[in-house]
Chains A and B, each alone.
Chain A
Amino acid sequence: MINLQIVFDNINYVYSSGTAFEQYALKDINLKISKGEFIGLIGHTGSGKSTLIQHMNGLIKASSGGIYYEGQNIYDSNYSMRELRSKVGLVFQYPEHQLFETTVFKDVCFGPKNLGLDKLEVELRAYEALKMVGIGEDLLDASPFELSGGQKRRVAIAGILAMRPEVLILDEPTAGLDPMGRDEILGQVANLHKEKGLTVILVTHSMEDVAKYVDRILVMNKGNLVMDQETRKVFARYKELEEMYLAAPQVTYITNELKAKGLDINTDATTVAEAKEDILKYINN
């Protein structure tokens, strides 16, 4: 019970409630997230992923149901949403669009400053965060608008990390980046997860990314949470995923195709490395 970080209890979110245009963006969501998990959130466009993650840091208030952070009801009148947002960091898609300050350093200071911390603490955290995302000291006094796309993005992420969140939610952090940029960002996130024990929720359309980093997958479909299992188990159900306009990693298809052609091969693999192992194992037998 103490380990449960985020709990969603029968969450519903409705648009235009009571009118003819009533629409459920989220329906009956029940969810339990423990500390230190690395979770993937997938779903077709419009399935409710963005709405779901915005409930986690209180940006959106549920129409009904309860959300508990470390056992406390976030909708309690005494509960501080500000505090919740410092603990649950949410990095939106294309986060570089939120940069506004005159220097990179000042922008990263924005978050901790809003928490009311003293100047020393604010600057310490900003330095730390920028280091975490690999932004060199030579860039600290540059204008954020002078940086490259990838650099801007890392600065934006640093802006959230400077708040020292316990949970990090990333909405498609690799959107619009080249392969090296993608690996860099995800690699750094994976490091943070390992070294600092951050709980990470990764919203993405890339099944390969999900397969590589994530232990558990949440699948959203039309506002419903339809799957909530370990990575392997979810991808094994790839036919169901396809019906929801999703897919499994390419290796899943290859291994299943091989099996269908008569090879007695393990179809559990979700990454190329694992598939290679399994295929070699088969060949060597």
Chain B
Amino acid sequence: MIRDITIGQYYPADSILHRLDPRLKLNGTLIFIISIFLFNTFYGYIAVTIFLASIIKMSKVPFKFIARGLKAIIVILLFTMTFNLFLTPGDVLLQVGFLKITRQGLHSALFMGIRLTYLILGSSLMTFTTTPNQLTDGLERLLWPLRRIKVPVHEIAMMMSIALRFIPILLEETDKIMKAQMARGADFESGGIIKRAKGLVPLLVPLFVSAFRRANDLAMAMEARCYRGGEGRTKMKPLRYEGRDGLAYIVLLAYLAVVIVISIFEDRLPVIL
């Protein structure tokens, strides 16, 4: 039952996006997120939408799948939009009782909504097209220079990949332990908060013990294969930029340039909303 939870879902497919270097995708996501907050008018919105739509199309990930990520923030989204809609002062368009909708409110709500939506869509697209291990590799390479100021980049990356690797294993273990305790009459479902919290002890203690045991075994196994930390350690599949990555960077920078230009000049353009 717990096995239905997937974290940072990766959608396997063979697309250009899947084949791009993870560093590029990490940087690209950052650039995209910045770009969402640069524009303030309809024109900027068009540029960003075109970009996002083409990226989505290129990823070969079905839109229904991507849209699922929005389900999680639907509450926040509606909340934010409603607040902005009714509480922004300005030229009143509609008034119902003491609730007033202003033009600025409409603008604000709409753009906030779009920004949030695009934020989720853009970042999930990254996790959909990049495996967790690729992500950690990319992050490790990008943060590598931080080693000069004693940031343990390698160790952090190693911890991340091990943690990711063990998520499904520990979830399965949780399932097994739950069932074993249920076979002894344990009840994980009924009762108030305190009762249920107490009821988690027979689940958490064995789980922790198991996790520590596995960590111990893993450490020994790694040592037995001569792991001594990041010093002088090489990779079997080092990240290497390909031609398509260079092209992608150019496209990204061009896109950023367009959005910046629009954001500078959009005040001079006729206002639509």
A residues with CB within 8 A of B: 54, 57, 59, 82, 85-86, 89-92, 95, 97-100, 110-111, 114-115, 145, 159-160, 163
Contact = CB atoms under 8 A, between A and B. Distances in A.
A86 B201 CA distance: 21
Contacts of A89: 183
Interface in B119-142: none
Contacts, number: 56
A285 to B, nearest CB: 52
B187 A114 contact: yes
A268 B176 CA distance: 39
Interface size class of B (residues with CB under 8 A): 10 to 19
B206 A114 contact: no
A97 B184 contact: no
Interface in B25-42: none
B180 A97 contact: yes
Interface string B200-214: 011001100110000
Contacts of A163: 184-185
8 residue pairs, one from A and one from B, having the closest CB atoms: A114-B185, A100-B205, A98-B180, A111-B184, A90-B183, A92-B180, A100-B202, A100-B206
Given A97-B210, A100-B206, A59 B182 contact: yes
A86 B186 CA distance: 11
Nearest to A88: B183
A127 B217 CA distance: 35
B219 to A, nearest CB: 19
A14 to B, nearest CB: 15
B184 A54 contact: no
Given A86-B185, A163-B184, 6 more contacts: A57-B183, A85-B185, A97-B180, A98-B184, A110-B181, A160-B183
Interface of B: 173, 176-177, 179-187, 201-202, 205-206, 209-210
B244 to A, nearest CB: 32
A239 B181 CA distance: 39
30 contacts: A54-B179, A59-B179, A59-B182, A82-B187, A86-B185, A89-B183, A90-B183, A91-B183, A92-B179, A92-B180, A95-B180, A97-B173, A97-B176, A97-B180, A97-B206, A97-B210, A98-B181, A100-B202, A110-B181, A110-B184, A110-B186, A111-B184, A114-B184, A114-B185, A114-B186, A114-B187, A145-B209, A159-B184, A163-B184, A163-B185
A159 B187 CA distance: 16
